[in-house]
Amino acid sequence: DAGITQSPRHKVTETGTPVTLRCHQTENHRYMYWYRQDPGHGLRLIHYSYGVKDTDKGEVSDGYSVSRSKTEDFLLTLESATSSQTSVYFCAIGNRDLYEQYFGPGTRLTVT
Amino acid sequence: QKEVEQNSGPLSVPEGAIASLNCTYSDRVSQSFFWYRQYSGKSPELIMSIYSNGDKEDGRFTAQLNKASQYVSLLIRDSQPSDSATYLCAVEGGRGSTLGRLYFGRGTQLTVWP
CB A99 within 8 A of CB B92: yes
- pLDDT tens per residue across span B72-85: 999 999 999 999 99
Rg of chain A, C-alpha, whole Å: 13
CA distance A48 to A36: 12
Instruction: Kindly determine whether residue B32 and residue A104, on different chains, have CB atoms separated by under 8 Å.
Output: no
pLDDT value, residue A2: 61
H-state helical runs in B1-114: none
Q: Kindly report which listed range (A50-54, A78-82, B20-24) carries the lowest average pLDDT score.
A: A50-54
DSSP A27: S
Q: Which residues contact B9 (CB under 8 A, 6 or more apart)?
A: B107, B108, B109, B110
pLDDT value, residue B4: 94
pLDDT value, residue A1: 54
Bond into A8 cis (ω within 30): yes
Give B1 to chain A, closest Cα distance, Å. Answer: 9
Residue range A77-94: average pLDDT? 97
CA distance B21 to B6: 8
Give A47 to chain B, closest Cα distance, Å. Answer: 10
pLDDT value, residue B42: 97
Average pLDDT, chain B: 94
- pLDDT tens per residue across span A16-74: 999 999 999 999 999 999 999 998 888 999 999 999 999 999 999 999 999 999 999 99
Task: Write out the H or E segment, with its range, that includes residue B76.
Answer: strand B71-76
Q: Pick the residue of A5, A93, A99, A101 with the most B CBs within 10 A to test the interface with B by mutation.
A: A99
Tell which wins on pLDDT, A1 or A10.
A10
Q: Which residues of A touch B63 (CB under 8 A)?
A: none
Strands A100-103 and B108-113 turn out to be unpaired
What's the start-to-end Cα distance of chain A, in Å? 29
pLDDT value, residue B59: 97
Give A9 to chain B, closest Cα distance, Å. Answer: 12
Residue range B87-98: average pLDDT? 88
